[in-house]
Structure 1
Amino acid sequence: MAIGGLSAALQVGAREMLEGVAPSLCTDDVPDCKEWAASSACLENPFYTREHCAKSCGVGACARSVKGGRIGGYATMAATRQYATQFYGTRDVADGHFRWDVSMGDYAIEGQKLRGDPWLMLSSLGVGTYLGAEDEQTDKDVTAAILQSLSRGWNVIDTASNYRHGRAERCVGEVFRALHHVKNQGLRRDSIFLSTKAGFISDALRDKLMKESKIVQSDLAQGVNCIHTECIRASLQESLENMGIRTVDLLYLHNAAETYIPAIGRPSFFALLRKAFIELEDLKRQNHIRSYGLATWNCFRTRPGDRLYLSLEEVVELAREVGGRNHGFRYIQLPISLTMDEAWSQSWQTVNGRSASLMEAAAELGVGVFASGPLQEGDLLKAEVNGAIRVPEWPALSTAQVLLQISRSTPYLTATLVGHKTLAHVAQNTEVAFVPPLDNATFHLLMGNLKLEQHA
């Protein structure tokens, strides 16, 4: 097993990702640099490399010499499965870390099996890129942390157009250039599931679209969020440019319900959402995106009758009306944590005339769910919460690891997203993958006991 968990077999079958562009050769004069680049060690040890290597063997400055077009490809069943198999049978992951995600498969026809180019094998932990200062050092740390995570069995990356004012997406772009730059590196674009978000557009993009009379001020909800078709397309193109890629696996509309419903009301929001879905289906046909979804905070965590409440079944039905049976609405994202448990604990959704939890509804409707905020931006690590988390099943896990394990064990979940920027935090968070997630019955029993202790 190579350093960081990548076996030599992972390098077999690597192909060029950048269409029509030959990979650059490392030109650094640092001792051992070329040997590191040839063996992929610079990607498996990015924190060390960035400190000791002037150009970081493709992780940093010399990766920017790759020119001639964007990196092509998207996550596929074959490549994600190949990636996952490098970690099976080793101490690097336990059963349940990699999961077949059926959300990208064509929907079932009654009496037949799923058809088409369907499932992806995704890690139960994904790298989030939300928090951090807007400076060069944070850029370096985020880039290195993503690369380190990829070499440790994480093949899910989540970002957004407004995270750190676009710097997060540019870090992701540097990651993909680094993967391309290092010769014979088995990690590649089609083994990685990448999501980004449109909605909170930059001031510069907003001003440009308004100057071109493509949008007006009233198209923006609360002055900051825009899911007008022109905004969606322009924002996506800006994101693709930031990341230097041709296709994103998943494009979310970012907190659309939370910003638009209070501003324009539910009927007008659904009318706007229909137009947005039509645009997203067109972007899917053009292969700029492979799927779309809603990244949310409150709308799937509130009870029926609440102003912000959304029925997942209604949203899916809208997507079916727009895109047919095999529409592109495949995922949602929302907070799921020890204290934000509505997704599985409350039967506030309705599917086929019966009450269900959001997780049950999503599973029945063929929608994948990504969990955000497992640590609630660190709030759950405070001393008063620590004492309430006592889990005999995981005596060796830290509080942060227990919180991640709780989130990733949520029934029917695709993956839990967590951000990290240091080698130590990547290692600590990756240790969670060594422990099998809970089965559904044990999960509900454990969570019930934790709730009782918290209220005792």
Structure 2
Amino acid sequence: MIKGYATREKTLNYLNNHESKYRETTWFYCSPIAIGTHLGDMTNEDSELYEKTIKYCLRNGVNFIDTALNYRGMKSEKDIGKVLESLITNKELDRSEFVISTKAGLIPGDIDAGLVPSDYLKYVLLKNEIIQEKEIQTVAHQKHVLTPSYFQFALNQSRSHLGLETIDIYYLHVPEISMKVLGEEAFYKMLEELFYFFEQQVKKQTIRFYGLATWLGFITDSDEKGYIFLEKTEKIARKVGGLSHHFRFIQVPLNSSLPGANNRETQSVSGITLTVLEAARDLDIHVTTSAPFNLGKDVENTDDILRFLMNTKDILSTMVGMKRVNHAKENIATYK
């Protein structure tokens, strides 16, 4: 596997060499948009499109890639891995020049193995005793887990797919599903155990940082099922990892249908009500945003949407689904 991770010096050099705008963290610089890999069919045809587009983006100033174990039946991670291996082997790209985030928590399928999520659960996770039936939280058709043994397995899968020894940002994916089933007390207790596992993985250099990638968890009302209190979550990280803990990133949707991250005071810090963007800033947590075009429903004014998001305070980077090179060219032209 390819060693290393994103560094301040190399990411800044990369972005300057491509005359790209950038955002800054203490640990690296990144492009204001990232390559999103959620949407698309689980086909080789779509994999070819993604591979071409990811190559184009990495060659033209986008140095942030976002994915998840369950995206497109595991094909998205595998597609990214192929591109990274090719560009790094050919010395077109250095591991320290780009940032990659992935996620786990939902039960995935594996399309290449012919396993839909229910089969993957039965024949891989339960059969091999990676998790137990009682550790699964189910809401509608979604099955979610918080068990560290699952994340050890999932993290190894993601690292293998991507071909990377270290993942820059590792998210707990849609944790509000488990919150809805478990309730606050049990959820936060299990979250503490999981954060302990994540801190151990940082020490082992399988990940650099961890976070929560949510849908409505941070932006719904505090009395709604599934609500997650960011300040309490950060306190758990401090309890587990001290002031130098590695819970430094969250991901929330932000679009015309879900504007709450920017304009609804659903969080609080030290008793002061704030938006999640403001709360995260006060807690020294970086925010990435997802679904800028509302999962493909808002595609008429993409330039205006991207400009709005790039001008919104406290957004580190926006995850933009880009499966076609022509869309990538348009998006890159907008932010440059």
The interval holding the TM-score normalised by the smaller chain is: over 0.9
Deviation at 1:406, TM superposition (A): 1.6
Alignment correspondent of 2:287: 369
Alignment correspondent of 1:419: 321
Distance 2:2 2:39 in 1: 26
Task: Report if aligned partners of 2:42, 2:75 keep a CA contact under 8 Å in 1.
Answer: yes
Alignment correspondent of 2:100: 194
Alignment correspondent of 1:208: 124
Question: Which has the larger share of strand?
Answer: 2
Which structure would you say has the larger Rg? Answer: 1
Alignment correspondent of 1:80: 11
Q: For 1:249, which of 168, 188, 212 is the aligned residue?
A: 168
Alignment correspondent of 1:390: none
Task: Report if aligned partners of 1:198, 1:227 keep a CA contact under 8 Å in 2.
Answer: no
Distance 2:189 2:196 in 1: 11
Q: For 2:230, which of 289, 300, 312 is the aligned residue?
A: 312
Task: Report if aligned partners of 1:337, 1:406 keep a CA contact under 8 Å in 2.
Answer: no
Distance 2:40 2:97 in 1: 26
Task: Report if aligned partners of 1:72, 1:245 keep a CA contact under 8 Å in 2.
Answer: yes
Alignment correspondent of 1:432: 334
Q: For 2:23, which of 99, 106, 127 is the aligned residue?
A: 99
Q: Which amino acid aligns with 1:244?
A: G
Q: Deviations over 1:126-148 (max 9, x none)?
A: 00000111111111110111110
Query: What is the number of residues matched between the two proteins?
Result: 323
Report the RMSD for the aligned CA atoms in angstroms.
1.5
Distance 2:74 2:230 in 1: 30
Task: Report if aligned partners of 2:67, 2:77 keep a CA contact under 8 Å in 1.
Answer: yes
Alignment correspondent of 2:154: 235
Q: Which amino acid aligns with 2:288?
A: F
- Are 1:335 and 2:253 matched, yes or no? yes
Distance 2:321 2:49 in 1: 11
Task: Report if aligned partners of 2:35, 2:65 keep a CA contact under 8 Å in 1.
Answer: yes
Deviation at 1:209, TM superposition (A): 3.5
Deviation at 1:408, TM superposition (A): 2.4
Deviation at 1:351, TM superposition (A): 1.0
Unaligned runs of 5+ in 2: 109-116
Deviation at 1:180, TM superposition (A): 2.0
Q: For 1:260, which of 175, 178, 188 is the aligned residue?
A: 178
Q: Which amino acid aligns with 2:143?
A: V
- 1:31-50 matches, within 5 Å, as none
Aligned partner of residue 126 in structure 1, secondary structure: strand
Q: Deviations over 1:333-391 (max 9, x none)?
A: 0101133211121122111221211111111111111110000112123xxxx5xxxxx
Unaligned runs of 5+ in 1: 1-69, 102-117, 387-398, 435-456
Alignment correspondent of 1:288: 206
Distance 1:99 1:180 in 2: 23
Aligned partner of residue 379 in structure 1, secondary structure: coil
Alignment correspondent of 1:71: 2
Aligned partner of residue 296 in structure 2, secondary structure: helix
Q: Which amino acid aligns with 1:128?
A: G
Task: Report if aligned partners of 2:146, 2:178 keep a CA contact under 8 Å in 1.
Answer: no
Aligned partner of residue 215 in structure 1, secondary structure: coil
